[in-house]
Amino acid sequence: MTALLWTLRYEALMAARRKVVWGAVLPLALLSLLLAATSPVVTGHSDPAARAGAGAVLVNTLCTLGVGLALADGLRRGLEARGMPELLAATPARALSRTAGALAGPLVTALAPVAVLFLLAGAVLTGTSGSAAPVVSAVVSLVAVVLPATLLVTAFAGLLGVLMPVAAARAVTVVVWLWACHFPPEFSPLPTATGTVLSPLGGYALVAWAHAPQVWAAREGGGALRPEVSDAAALVNVLLVLAMAAACYALGHLIVRRRDGAT
């Protein structure tokens, strides 16, 4: 546990010193807050909890993508850091602790301003409405939707970052993210994850657990991947996003280890 905490600490501090983290995350977090306060998509709902849920869609679209873009070079930096893997392997920390700390540290740093701003907005809605539902909706959204989606986009961007130049990986991540979250099926010549239980936008969980309007779940279609909104469908949505994140992380680390072994 001590090795995990120390690894998490130094990884978080290193991420905090990187300008790309703040340059990618803070502007998008502030833009999300501005849109949440002015966009009819959010302000058009009379229910304060529904406003918080609709605001979570903005957060998960913009801020989560920003975190993924900021950390897209995470695996590549480890691959290019000559001698560092050998140095870390010589420490008394286990590989699992180092891996978990290296994953969680930058995420904690990048997600902290997003969480603070979103919870503050939820608290304001709670204060003005006199109901605890908005801040509860914000907490549920962060835990059940934003965090799993951030794990996925970070893992996906990191995987692309070891397969191609980081700038190209970031560009591809933006396209894939928008395709998976917001590309309308009726305009897509190819099948899209938008509105399905595979979508990292988390439409099912947001509707079932965070009072979001049913706009982003089961969007424009039906079938096994677009079931009716329910607690079970929401849970499947979250588990599938986490499973895809784990697969991307595992594949990325496997590629890095093989390249390390080949050099």
Which has the closest alpha carbon to 73: 24, 142, 131?
24
Cα-based angle 28, 174, 212 (whole degrees, multiple of 5): 60
Report percent pLDDT > 70 for the chain: 93
Run means of pLDDT, 10 residues per run, the chain, 263 residues: 82 88 90 90 90 93 94 81 67 76 89 94 93 94 96 96 94 95 80 92 94 83 88 97 96 85 61
Q: Extract the tokens encoding 168.
A: 């190209």
Amino acid found at 233: A
Query: Do residues 100 and 4 make contact, with C-beta atoms less than 8 angstroms apart?
Result: yes
In this prediction, residue 213 carries a pLDDT of 86
pTM across the whole model: 0.90
pLDDT value, residue 248: 96
Two structure tokens written together for 202: 């988390």
- CA separation for the pair 107, 170 (Å, rounded): 17
Give the structural domain span for 173. Answer: 3-261
pLDDT at 84: 66
**Predicted confidence (pLDDT) per residue in 112-140, tens digit:** 999 999 999 999 999 999 999 999 999 99
Report the domain count for the chain: 1
